[in-house]
Structure 1
Amino acid sequence: MNILIITGTYLPSVNGVAVSVESYYQTLKKMGHKVTILAPDVTGAKRSRDVIRYPSLLNALSKDYPIPIIPLTPKIFKLLTKQKFDIVHAQHPFHISWFGKKYAQINKAPFVLTYHTKHDEYAENFFKFLPKIISRDIVKASVEKTMQEVDLVIAPSKYVQQELKEKYPDTKTVTIPTGICFPREVKKSKRKVREKLRLPLKSKILLSVSRLSEEKNIDFALESFAKLPADYFFVILGSGPEEENLKKLASDLGIDSRVLFAGKIPHEKVPYYLRATDVFVFSALNETQGLNLLEALHAGIPVAAVGSKTTQEWLPKEFGLTTDFDIKHFSSKIQEICENPDKGLAKIEQEWALNFSIQNTTKKMVETYKELMKLKAEERR
């Protein structure tokens, strides 16, 4: 199978979409498929035979999400029309999908969209320079247009698929969670890892792995952490537009000496921080999936999460605690997990998480591609 993936973000960015594209690319190749990625050109981007870079601009609001310009130049068009694609798979609506549809039409191939983000709820984050009502209308119109043109929309979770069905009843949808390439287990003891990472040896350590943006509610997590005893320590991995505001908040709360903003780190180093952790903290309300939750569970780490449709679907009750969006309630549940750890759950947590491995989800993706290709061929008869 020959697959074209069109994305607005890719390595060296380390956001969820970029990591997802890379994981599927590597796994599809191992399964014997040919994959071409059309991605924005950014500083530090490595050149690859399978990756075609198109022009982009630096995004001042989020360096991890460049502003795509036009994924079609004479050179790119020539490169892409040299081969026949069986599937064209876009990772975003907006003009990325418009060009995806064009490439699909040229190849007479099915056109697929993965709905990574609830775009309508984050509209004002995408277009901060516009009035809210205008940004929402732009996003709504673009998403609706894309939904009319795709052959299939892939939802990362069941609840997102249900919402899409209600909003766009004429659009075909399916749930395929974003697969995770789980790392090897860190064999070193928790103490050894803490020494290596220069983390306090005797503290209860909380960990958050998240982009530092408004919708992730890291401010809520910090305010909840401020209610915990002095022997608790909070490690926050990630970067984003709210980083300086969050650092100021930690200072204002008087907890900056117990909070480490470790910044954006290579994904392969995350397991070491998980190994050093007592509780994983998840404070976002509107995520389409819970990849970070699964990585924590795979490492045998209990989770404290704000209750949402995502956590209801992705976090079994026996593996962690979900709470109201209430500072006092959230902090008390974190303390409850720390003081009453169930060490026997680690193996069961890992087995649950493995259901979402990149190998399993890629197999389902390939089966879905084949079904679409068969339907497309029947339509042409």
Structure 2
Amino acid sequence: MHVLIVTDQHADSLGGVQVAIRLQRRALEALGHRVTVAAPALHRRGYATAAQDREAYVDLPSAPITVDREYGLTFPGRRSDRALARALATRPRVELVHVQGDFWGALIGIRAARGLGVPIVHTMHNHVDAGTRAVTPLAPVAFAGLRAWRGLALGRVRGPVDRASRGAWRYLAEIAAEAAVVTAPSQHFADTLMRHGVADRVRVTPGGVDDALVAEARARPRSPRRRTKLVWLGRMSHEKRVLEFIEAVAESGINADVALHGAGLLLPRVERRIAALGLSDRVTIPGPVPYAAALAALRDADALVQTSVGFETQGLTPFEAAALGTPTIFSDPNIARDVAVDPHWVVSGDSVSALADTLREADAELAVGLASDDGSLEKLRVSDSEASRFLQSSRTQQMLAVYEEALARASRH
């Protein structure tokens, strides 16, 4: 099978969706399938496509849209159509388009599927409603603009749309209308999409964790420590609540080593706040690290701290932590229910004080295990049997079943 994946951002840019796409591609190729990933060309300084990726990537003409040149935009239209068609002309026939984007990637992917005459599987990764409302008070205007842009790029909606859907949900319903199968990376987001009329049925297809890298990380002994080791991973932006996490660390008074892996627009404010609160001896910022190093840090930690609330459509890092045996302190109860492993801790509310209370609770339990020599700390780890269900190998078989369903539905129609 030759699958064309079309997405909003280049697979080598930073982000959980991009990690999931890279893993999915490698797993499908290992099973003998062909995968082509089309996305805006990456403008990051010093970036060059690795030799092993050149045949799999189609870099569409794009312009950078962030100061660090990490993310770009490709305008969906005849120019992007021609660029994609030229690249596909030298490849085997595409049998299915997997749209893994919610903006220009979705529009480009739908145009491509129409031209190729193949079915669409559409994975909705982005909580467009919450994300837009978090950055602008003009969200309703933005949603109307998205619908207008969809109309310019795609014309009339070719499929059923629930007229009860509104705002961002109406936009998502319109781009999902042509999909043979709609999926979401978590049960809670699938439920949200169905509740708001985006699709009648949404399959759940979580992203997995690289089997080989998990095995490599688990083979290494965890480092010695005198106090609890907590880790935070993500983009340093307001919706990730990294500043609230730092405030909670200070309020909790925990004597733990805390490492923040990541970067973003809030990084300078994060650094200043750590210094102002006198946390520099406990809170460090290793910054953005390669994926393998991030997994190693997760494996070595006593717990991951997940801090966003109501924003994530999956929240990949707790799934990665679970695959590595590391429990999570959850701020979002929906993600806790999706991961569904013990041990874990769930914050009782979205205030800094509630997070501080849970940090104290988790640190106290972990510190008791650390102080004992009877293996109590290892009992505060996710079991191997539970960890195995988060591996990419199991997720790939699930996605292949979705592809077969989409192809079967297309053949019937």
Interval containing the TM-score (normalised by the shorter chain): 0.7 to 0.9
Would the aligned equivalents of 1:10 and 1:21 in 2 still touch at CA under 8 Å?
no
- Give deviations 1:133-184, integer Å, cap 9, x for gaps: 4224335254232022322211111121111112226544211111221422
Deviation at 1:359, TM superposition (A): 0.9
Tell me whether 333-342 or 159-168 shows the greater mean CA deviation.
Answer: 333-342
Which of 266, 269, 283 is matched with 1:259 structurally?
283
Which of 169, 192, 199 is matched with 1:163 structurally?
192
Tell me the distance in 1 between the aligned counterparts of 2:352 and 2:288.
Answer: 26
Q: Which residue of 1 aligns with 2:98?
A: 89
Q: Which residue of 2 aligns with 1:57?
A: 63
Would the aligned equivalents of 1:216 and 1:284 in 2 still touch at CA under 8 Å?
yes
Q: Which residue of 2 aligns with 1:351?
A: 385
Tell me the distance in 2 between the aligned counterparts of 1:212 and 1:350.
Answer: 31
Deviation at 1:207, TM superposition (A): 0.6
Tell me the distance in 2 between the aligned counterparts of 1:108 and 1:231.
Answer: 60
- Give deviations 1:323-377, integer Å, cap 9, x for gaps: 1223233223223223323535466433223212111111111111112111111
Q: Which residue of 2 aligns with 1:198?
A: none
Q: Write the mapping of 1:120-131 to structure 2, written as runs, cut at 5 A.
A: 120-124=129-133, 131=138
Tell me the distance in 2 between the aligned counterparts of 1:346 and 1:57.
Answer: 47
- Amino acid aligned to 1:218: V
Tell me whether 301-310 or 236-245 shows the greater mean CA deviation.
Answer: 301-310
Which of 178, 182, 197 is matched with 1:149 structurally?
178
Would the aligned equivalents of 2:172 and 2:198 in 1 still touch at CA under 8 Å?
no
Tell me whether 13-22 or 134-143 shows the greater mean CA deviation.
Answer: 134-143
1:135 paired with 2:160, answer: no
Q: Which residue of 1 aligns with 2:72?
A: 66
Tell me the distance in 2 between the aligned counterparts of 1:299 and 1:349.
Answer: 9
Would the aligned equivalents of 1:165 and 1:171 in 2 still touch at CA under 8 Å?
yes
Other structure's SS at 1:319 match: coil
Which of 202, 206, 213 is matched with 1:173 structurally?
202
Other structure's SS at 1:149 match: coil
Q: Which residue of 1 aligns with 2:121?
A: 112
Q: Which residue of 2 aligns with 1:287?
A: 312
User: For the aligned residues, what is the CA RMSD?
Assistant: 2.4
1:368 paired with 2:387, answer: no
1:46 paired with 2:78, answer: no
Q: Are the structure 2 counterparts of residues 215 and 30 from structure 1 closer, same or farther at C-alpha, using a change threshold of 3 Å?
A: same
1:223 paired with 2:247, answer: yes
Other structure's SS at 2:177 match: helix
Would the aligned equivalents of 1:290 and 1:314 in 2 still touch at CA under 8 Å?
no
Q: Are the structure 2 counterparts of residues 222 and 322 from structure 1 closer, same or farther at C-alpha, using a change threshold of 3 Å?
A: same
Q: Are the structure 2 counterparts of residues 15 and 344 from structure 1 closer, same or farther at C-alpha, using a change threshold of 3 Å?
A: same
Tell me the distance in 2 between the aligned counterparts of 1:151 and 1:172.
Answer: 11
- Amino acid aligned to 2:71: Y
Q: Which residue of 1 aligns with 2:88?
A: 80
1:297 paired with 2:322, answer: yes
Q: Are the structure 2 counterparts of residues 170 and 91 from structure 1 closer, same or farther at C-alpha, using a change threshold of 3 Å?
A: closer
Structure 1 portions without partners, runs of 5+? 193-200
Q: Which residue of 2 aligns with 1:335?
A: 360
